[in-house]
């Protein structure tokens, strides 16, 4: 895929743009002032792999058959009492062998809980298994007790944010070539092979809770943002306001990955800047969430996005 350098707002750094995997999507005209631009919005499901592995594999096959453009998994160790998370990267490797078109990845992997070289290796392996369909969603992660402190991992969000930033730099360098990195949290000297199919690397999307500016600023340095509302879906106006927080301008190939609110026309999210619309299902002890997920992945994207769901991404 083609890549070109894109400078940050202050001109001090650049991150080569990563091409987007050609999926089905749906083309919309987005109004911009007196003119219009054409935007392709893509649809994905993001599900918790908290069930039997065969069921997760079935979800992925069904989602691709129903026309979804992406299939993403949550990344947790314990999450909440009673949950039984599978490792998403192991599952995604199996899914890559069973699918042909959908983009695959995590929404999201908390990098402070995983070694950056190990994430780089997993991402390259997934990209090669899938023929260049991998994506990496990253964030701070939650909950800070069960998935971090209880496991002996760093729980302070400020430290985890610093680890996230360093880990992103390490992963980016490892996927491109020889790396000699020395930071406050990681020291890496390596030249990892093989390289990913997507060049210079698979896309990296950064999640953050709105309306905080810092996650958005971090996402601007990479390939997309996954804005998360505080316990509720973002409205199109919420999305517009969030993307305007830092005065940044969207660039070609920079994705905005949104969990839309039920019942709002897709066009409104596209006009607000969305490039991916994601349907998720929240596990609940009070209802059969697995049956709900069974139904979602078998419905065409436009139908499934109209139902209740979750804005979880981490």
pLDDT digits (tens, 9 = 90+) for 211-245: 899 999 999 999 999 999 876 789 999 999 999 99
What is d(CA 314, CA 300) in angstroms, rounded to the nearest whole number?
25
Using an 8 Å Cβ cutoff, are 134 and 205 in contact?
no
- Could you tell me whether strands 204-209 and 224-228 are parallel, antiparallel, or unpaired per DSSP bridges? parallel
**Four-residue CA torsion sign, 83, 99, 24, 226:** positive
Using an 8 Å Cβ cutoff, are 77 and 86 in contact?
no
The chain-wide mean pLDDT, for the chain, equals 86
What is d(CA 139, CA 157) in angstroms, rounded to the nearest whole number?
11
Is a pLDDT exceeding 60 seen at residue 47?
Answer: yes
User: If we measure between CA atoms, which residue out of 126, 226, 231, 220 comes closest to residue 165?
Assistant: 220
Residue 290 main-chain phi, psi, to 5 deg: -65, -40
pLDDT at 19: 39
Is a pLDDT exceeding 50 seen at residue 150?
Answer: yes
Q: What is the mean pLDDT of residues 100-111?
A: 97
**What's the whole-model pTM score?**
0.86
Q: Scanning the structure block, which residue is given the tokens 């809980």?
A: 113
Q: Which range has the worst mean pLDDT, 43-57, 107-121, 275-289?
A: 275-289
Per the model's pLDDT, the better-predicted residue between 115 and 284 turns out to be: 115
What is d(CA 274, CA 219) in angstroms, rounded to the nearest whole number?
14
Per the model's pLDDT, the better-predicted residue between 66 and 305 turns out to be: 66
Instruction: Name the architecture of domain 41-304.
Output: Alpha-Beta Barrel (3.20)
pLDDT digits (tens, 9 = 90+) for 170-227: 999 999 999 999 999 999 999 999 999 999 999 999 999 998 999 999 999 999 999 9
Token duo for residue 156: 């302070």
Q: Confidence class of residue 285 from pLDDT cuts 50, 70 and 90? A: low
Q: Which range has the worst mean pLDDT, 7-11, 73-77, 298-302?
A: 7-11
**Cα end-to-end span (Å), the chain:** 29
pLDDT at 82: 82
Is a pLDDT exceeding 70 seen at residue 46?
Answer: yes
Is a pLDDT exceeding 50 seen at residue 23?
Answer: no
Distances (CA, A) of 181 to 114, 169, 174, 233, 243: 17, 9, 10, 38, 31
Q: Confidence class of residue 136 from pLDDT cuts 50, 70 and 90? A: very high
User: If we measure between CA atoms, which residue out of 45, 189, 18 comes closest to residue 105?
Assistant: 45
User: If we measure between CA atoms, which residue out of 291, 308, 234, 297 comes closest to residue 73?
Assistant: 297
pLDDT at 27: 64
CA dihedral 104, 226, 18, 9 (to 10 degrees): -170
How big is the CA angle at 18 (ends 63 and 226), to the nearest 5 degrees? 55
């Amino acid at each position: 895929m083609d890549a070109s350098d894109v400078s940050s707002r202050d001109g001090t750094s650049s991150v080569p743009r990563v091409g987007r995997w050609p999926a089905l999507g749906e083309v919309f005209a987005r109004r911009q002032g007196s003119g219009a631009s054409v935007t392709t919005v893509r649809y994905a499901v993001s599900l918790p792999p908290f069930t039997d592995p065969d069921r997760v594999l079935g979800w992925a096959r069904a989602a691709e058959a129903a026309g979804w453009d992406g299939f993403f998994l949550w990344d947790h160790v314990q999450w909440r009492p009673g949950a039984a998370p599978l490792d998403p990267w192991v599952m995604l490797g199996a899914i890559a062998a069973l699918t042909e078109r959908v983009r695959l990845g995590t929404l999201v992997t908390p990098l402070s809980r995983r070694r950056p070289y190990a994430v780089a290796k997993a991402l390259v392996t997934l990209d090669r298994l899938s023929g260049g369909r991998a994506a990496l969603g990253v964030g701070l992660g939650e909950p800070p007790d069960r998935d971090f402190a209880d496991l002996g991992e760093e729980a302070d969000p400020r430290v985890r944010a610093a680890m996230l930033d360093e880990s992103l730099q390490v992963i980016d360098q490892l996927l491109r070539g020889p790396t000699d990195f020395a930071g406050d949290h990681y020291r890496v000297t390596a030249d990892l092979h093989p390289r990913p199919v997507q060049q210079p690397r698979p896309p990296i999307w950064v999640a953050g809770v709105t309306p905080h500016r810092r996650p958005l600023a971090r996402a601007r340095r990479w390939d997309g943002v996954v804005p998360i509302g505080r316990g509720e879906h973002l409205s199109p106006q919420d999305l517009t306001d969030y993307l305007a927080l830092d005065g940044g301008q969207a660039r070609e190939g920079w994705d905005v990955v949104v969990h839309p609110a039920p019942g709002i026309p897709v066009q409104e999210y596209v006009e607000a800047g969305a490039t991916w619309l994601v349907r998720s299902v929240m596990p609940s002890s009070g209802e059969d969430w697995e049956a709900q997920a069974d139904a979602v992945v078998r419905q065409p994207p436009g139908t499934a996005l109209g139902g209740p769901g979750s804005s979880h991404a981490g």
